[in-house]
Amino acid sequence: MPDLAIRCRGLVKRYPPAVTAVDGLDLEVARGECFGLLGPNGAGKTTTVEILEGLLAPSGGEVEVLGRRWGEDAAGLRERIGLTLQETHLYEKLTARELVQLFRALYRRGRDVDEVLRMVSLEEKASSWYERLSGGQKQRLAVAVALVGDPELLFLDEPTTGLDPQSRRQLWDVVTELKRRGKTVLLTTHYMDEAERLCDRVAIVDHGKVIALGTPRALVAAHVGQEIVEFQLDGAADGDEAAFAALPAVQAVRRVAGGWQLVTDQVHLAIPALLGSLTARGQAAVALSTHRATLEDVFVTLTGRRLRD
């Protein structure tokens, strides 16, 4: 039996009368793995994570965290996990250091308070009241508070949303360092580059279900080609899908908001062919661009929608 940090089967969460936030979700996360949950707003990521954290009771399904169930040994499990909520407020009138100290004291074992503050670059703000920290600093403090119990398993719900590029990169370093120390990380994110960079595997969640699972590279290879050519047609002209699909080296054609996407593995053949075909019909392409296929393209392929609208 593989050594799993998280295992859940057929997870369901209903909010009567009408909402099914999580709809039969299966997940296995190995120890030492960094796992990403991706999905649009309202997909059920936060709900799933909070069930795994033992903060919400599921309406159905099984959950095992670090080999235990929440009903068996909640207190023991809490010693071994750390987490950030999607939205964190801490005591407004305590300083950053006082807050980390307080949370440190709640765990039997943990890390040094100043070391944790240093990891999220808040040494200089250690004596500032929480209410006087900027939004990004508050978020980093939430991560510090999640780390101070030295968890084996860390849950981060959108840890980098709203951070500046430098702080994001810093947080990536924190996660990389945890991975190096053999810790397990489960994070949710809307940033594809983040998932591709940090996560060993990702699950794409939509309407409360996992619709794709694998390493970022494998998902891209399986669901989209190598390169994407994107363009719009000038004026009111309408494109001919069959004609695009017949172009050399084009593997798939998709209509996306306001334009077209061609999936190809040979851009240098596809683009001249496309332009030639358009000129022959008296049409012109505007906003022509190409990019390497990403998880975002996987998402668009799978759902016909964009991740962030």
Partner 1 sequence: MTERAATPPPGPAPAPDRASGEGPGALWLLTLARVRLFYREPSTLFWTFIFPVLLTVALGIAFRSRPPEPVAIGVVAGPGAAEARSALTGQPDVKVTVLDEAAARAALRTGRVAVVVVPGASPVLRFDPTRPESRLARVVADDLLERAAGRRDVLTPRQDTVTEAGSRYVDFLIPGLLGMNIMSTGLWGIGWVIAELRQKKLLKRLAATPMRRWHFLFSFAVVRLLFLAVEVPFLIGFGMLVFGTPFQGSALALALLALLGAAAFSGLGLLIASRASNQQTVGGLINLVLLPMMILSGVFFSSANFPDVMQPLVKALPLTALNEGMRAVLNDGASLAAVAPQCLLLLGTALVSFAVALRIFRWS
Instruction: Name the residues that contact ligand ATP, by CB under 6 A.
Output: 15, 19, 21, 39, 41-47, 86
Q: Of these, 14, 111, 190, 197, which contacts partner 1 (CB under 8 A)?
A: 111
For residue 39, the minimal CB distance to ligand ATP (Å) is: 5
Q: Which of residues 8-37 bind partner 1 (CB under 8 A)?
A: 30-33
Our CB check for partner 1 shows the closer of 16 and 282 to be 16
Q: Of these, 42, 62, 106, 292, which contacts partner 1 (CB under 8 A)?
A: 106
Which two three-digit tokens encode residue 229? 């050519």
The three-point CA angle 273-276-281 to 5° equals 130
CA distance 71 to 36: 26
Our CB check for ligand ATP shows the closer of 86 and 277 to be 86
Amino acid at 159: P
CA distance 296 to 304: 11
Is residue 73 near partner 1 by the rule CB under 8 A? no
Is residue 86 near Mg ion by the rule CB under 5 A? yes
Task: Confirm if 90 and 142 have CB atoms less than 8 A apart.
Answer: yes
Our CB check for Mg ion shows the closer of 122 and 142 to be 142
Treating both helix axes as pointing N-terminal to C-terminal, what angle do 295-303 and 216-223 enclose, rounded to 10 degrees?
50
Instruction: Tell me which of Mg ion, ligand ATP, partner 1, none is bound by residue 75, counting a contact when its beta carbon lies within the kind-specific cut-off of 5 to 8 angstroms.
Output: partner 1
* 262-to-172, 253, 259 alpha-carbon distances in Å: 32, 5, 10
Q: Which of residues 135-174 bind partner 1 (CB under 8 A)?
A: 145, 149-150
Task: Confirm if 152 and 6 have CB atoms less than 8 A apart.
Answer: no
Our CB check for Mg ion shows the closer of 45 and 201 to be 45
Q: Of these, 40, 46, 52, 244, which contacts Mg ion (CB under 5 A)?
A: 46
For residue 34, the minimal CB distance to ligand ATP (Å) is: 19
Applying CB under 5 A, the site for Mg ion has a residue count of 3
For residue 14, the minimal CB distance to ligand ATP (Å) is: 9
Our CB check for partner 1 shows the closer of 5 and 249 to be 5
Q: Which residues bind Mg ion (CB under 5 A)?
A: 45-46, 86
